[in-house]
Amino acid sequence: IQQRQDRPPFAILFLNNGSTMMRLGQIGTKKNVISSNMRSFSSSSSRSSALKMPAFEYKPPKYEGPSFDQVMKTRKEYLTPALLTYYKNPIMIVDGKQQWLFDEKGNRYLDMFAGIVTVSVGHCHPKVTKAAIDQMQKLQHTTTIYLHPTIGEFAEKLASTFPKESNLKVCYFVNSGSEANDLAVTMARAYTGNFDFVSLRNGYHGAAGSAASLTALHTWKYAVPGDFGIKHTLNPDPYRGPFKADDKDAGKKYAWHLKNLVEHGSSGQIAGFVAESIQGIGGTVELADGFLKEAYEIVRSHGGLCVADEVQTGFGRTGTNFWGFQNHGVTPDIVTMAKGIGNGAPLAAVVTTPEIAKVLTKRIHFNTYGGNPISCAMGSAVLDVIKEEQIQKNAHEVGNYIIAGLKNLQRKYPIIGDVRGKGLMLGVELVKNKETLQPANEETAKVFEKAKELGVLIGKGGLYGNCLRIKPPMCVNKNDADFFLGVLDQSLASL
């Protein structure tokens, strides 16, 4: 067995013929040896034979649909040109199972991005799939003007995931995170009688209605009028912001800017404040310690409600808690969620207290597809799987394992400026200079492409496009983590 001296402790070791791989510390343990019996790849594949994927039993059926060229032609001719396509040479995904995706040629990819943080318990999870099929065969749609058992059962189950003392128990079901955040703004304004709303710079809350105005990344904003009354405060970013992680008072200093904005940029009375527990599209940015607790106190002292955007951080993804806001020691008045709630179903929700929820009875509130029986059946099944398969625990353990590996890579490659996140909500920021923090966006793009060539799909984000977003289906295991870390190591080495 050959071992490079500079390879970190998590590293994958290979027999000298490259046919078998095992994790350090498992050498000589037969049951932990990873089989090299894998699907063959097309001859055009540029994947290195030195990095073998973990064995996976599922073999997708032969693809017999439209060719790649036909699909690309149709997309270009009939779909909006605004659609984003990853990679210089795009891939066509036609099958998926658990944490693995397959293209039309049968090539297998480790999915470390989960359909933009949406596939929570694994692609085509049998329990979630069965719930959808069973419900579809009974009743597909009625709307909430009629009683149906599925929506109420799901709401009760969802409400049980919140701390009992929070009184967060009333659910409004919608179809997307944008809708959920837009509804939260309406609800807060109607309840408080105030209008101004505050969000964080670098935050992302959607691309429609008030949610688009809450978003504070110029790359996502068109030069058209937005919802007036939306204000953005200084982002409590302990890496790029003026107050760094080593400043024990950073949270309070960032909170001062929020207070200053409310006192000088509004009537002094606001409707609310919204923040992601960890910023997602903005580059997996963790908020400065103590900031959110200070911010909630300020907002409530000025008449506002506090909204936790859990679209990406909810459902156990941070590992330590079911909801991201719990990591900050706060209790919001309204919680918005989407993505992982349905494992890919068009499902989202707003959860609040009975008192706040009652305000919408002043007028008619209705959403045609909100609470659709199929979506709710899938959402209910997702909650069951998270509990039965200990998904949150897995996110914590595998997430910590990946974080340790990423920090080892950070010590090896100076281009890694920051490793951050919790559980399986992780980010790696690449910079050209650790003093100026000049974004290494071109290098990030190269790593992003190389990882795909080697069989790993990751996300890319941040305002400058220099952050790798690592947010896989939460069923990934440590063998997958080893493969991912080995691929990332080789991708960084190729720069």
**DSSP string covering 15-46:** -TTSS-EEETT-TT-GGGPBP-------TT--
Give the SS3 label for residue 470: strand
Q: For residues 27 and 139, which has the higher predicted lDDT (pLDDT)?
A: 139
Amino acid in position 53: M
Angle between helices 373-388 and 391-412 (to 10 degrees): 70
| pTM of the predicted model as reported, rounded to 2 decimal places | 0.89
Tokens linked to 143: 């709307």
CB 347 within 8 A of CB 376: yes
The HSE-up count of residue 274 (CA atoms within 13 Å, CB side) is 37
In 18-148, where does DSSP find H-type helix?
68-78, 114-117, 126-138
Tell me the three-class secondary structure of 368-387, residue by residue: CCCCCHHHHHHHHHHHHHHH
If one counts every other C-beta atom within 10 angstroms of the C-beta of residue 441, the result is 18
The two tokens of residue 336 are: 């918005």
How far is Cα of residue 258 from the mean position of the Cα atoms in its chain?
26
Beta bridge pairs of residue 213 = none
Neighbours of 161 (CB within 10 A): 17
Find out whether 408 and 9 touch, Cβ atoms under 8 Å: yes
Confidence of residue 50 (pLDDT cuts 50, 70, 90): low
Tokens of 363: 């007028």
Per residue in 115-141, pLDDT (tens digit) is 999 999 999 999 999 999 999 999 999
pLDDT at 278 over 50: yes
Rounded Cα distance between 53 and 47, Å, is 10
pLDDT band at 227 (very low <50, low <70, confident <90, very high): confident
Exposure of 365 by Cβ count < 10 A (0-12 exposed, 13-18 middle, 19+ buried)? Answer: middle
Give the H/E segment covering residue 173.
Answer: strand 170-174
pLDDT beyond 70 at 44: no
For 488, the token pair is: 């990332």
Amino acid identity at 190: A
Residue 98 pLDDT > 50: yes
Question: What are 231's two structure tokens?
Answer: 């204000």
DSSP for 77-93?
HHS-TT----SSS---E
Q: What is the chain's alpha carbon radius of gyration, rounded to the nearest angstrom? A: 23
pLDDT(21) > 90: no
pLDDT at 226: 86
User: CA dihedral in degrees (118, 119, 120, 122; nearest 10)?
Assistant: -170
* pLDDT tens column, 188-203: 999 999 999 999 999 9
Q: How far is CA 132 from CA 45, 127, 128, 280, in A?
A: 36, 9, 6, 28
Q: How confident is the model at residue 72 (pLDDT cuts 50, 70, 90)?
A: very high
The DSSP annotation for 204-227 comes to ---SSHHHHHH---GGG--SS---
Three-state DSSP at 342 gives: coil
pLDDT at 51: 86
The two tokens of residue 168 are 């967060």
The DSSP letter of residue 53 is P
Is the model's pLDDT at 11 over the cut of 70?
Answer: no
At residue 405, the 3 state secondary structure works out as helix
Q: Hunting for tokens 């964080």 — which residue is that?
A: 200
| Residue 6 clears pLDDT 70, i.e. is over it | no
Tokens of 81: 């040109």
